[in-house]
Structure 1
């Protein structure tokens, strides 16, 4: 039976319990910082050691006890091209289990507002650029991360289904490539930008004459600082409602070669850069159409150059405690 709910978004109650799944990750930690700055008083997070989101009974029990009013699902198994193409079963199985458990548990306690976070890789490999939300399921996915993409698509449909069947005003947001504090800088698990930061910074430290990057450097990518993403998340929770996912990005892109040059400059690397064209490039371009987000009243604020300087500074401050997988 469908339950009638008020679908009008508005200011969230700063005293209500707000659970952030994945609160220590790149996006989750940024969301916690944004919620704290906005005056939320009861933000809850659990580490994977405290709560395994793949354990259905544990998740259902946790929600039954906590009864959060608001939830952001930022927890996921993520990685770059190498990790996604090497461990597709892990990316499919782990993410679907996390999503199903958290979304089912949220429904059972009637969570009022929930934001599910996906990824721009849900869209077809050759989608028309910039990519509109309507491009979902209109073509073949990028083969190197199709398993992860399918899991995230399942999450979008899960949210849409909850809206249809139970009337809960939940929403989904699909961020572009994110970067910032608490990112994964490991050689095997990182995305392109943190991988470049680590590679060039280590080259500076070792005095390496050259750095070798994957691919041709020609693909174009859009980048958004995690703090901008967190600000967009709170804005959407308070100002947007609708069944379809919302793209979140800066609306501009650069080539991988250009971003590599920028990273090299920020870290102070003056050697040569070589490109291993025997390695895959991935999708030729991924630029999101963010017009729906703009209509909802939000645009990005942190320039790429400023965001990179802040991220490199954070990386260097935490270089001894970074995860290695």
Structure 2
């Protein structure tokens, strides 16, 4: 989808102070040494007990809103993407984030689209603002804290090390420092069973008192019949290529035009295969080397990575940024931005 008159006006991030390294996790017997080497994630941030996902998201949101400088009454919609437990059961964390940032009576929605939650929120925000003739803004936040005993950041999933953190983005139809040129989303629900597994349904979360075991769910599905793994890889590769090309075409751009490319902080083996080899992304344009000190932050890698680009990589007017997410389900989203100015913050 090609967008006109939509701009990123603010970005924010919240990263807890405590650091846990992969070496420390290996020494404690929580992380396999060979896996640590192949995954390439050096460290993660660990949230305090009083920093669940929505609290961190509110911190990031306030930063993005302050930087955007738009009046609170313009915020028509607040979207919050998350992956893990949000600090309370039977609760709507997005309304907490809304109340702690911009308040008001605008639409508020929680997005549970796995690791693609932040970029899915960006596309929903764009669709919402495009229908508004009056001055309007959208706040998109993410926030996740991965805690034992429910989730083991080093062991619950294969080829992932999960870090705590939050990101935020303000989209406006009244200007900003970067123009949203296009977004594209592609869903392939035939791949949904990968993370559901084959063990059947449960009556509630954490019934057996053991950490979530995504490794077994994935392996049970991928090994259930010959050729399943190869089929999944082929489908994912095709889908990723298709959605990336669609977003670039709608932005009248080529991948080689992008000065920055932001993807998830996943295992280095996956990043090398999926992004650098198959899609042709130049690693030097990415935030991945920086992201290896933070790990996979749930729904927020892309928003947090974009914030890092603005704070540390000196974007200039005319520079293009491409960001790509994929979430279990499976759903891919790509967004193309063009910087129109260099924010002083």
With normalisation by structure 1, the TM-score equals: 0.30
With normalisation by structure 2, the TM-score equals: 0.29
Between the two structures, name the one with larger relative contact order (CA 8 Å, sep ≥ 6). Answer: 2
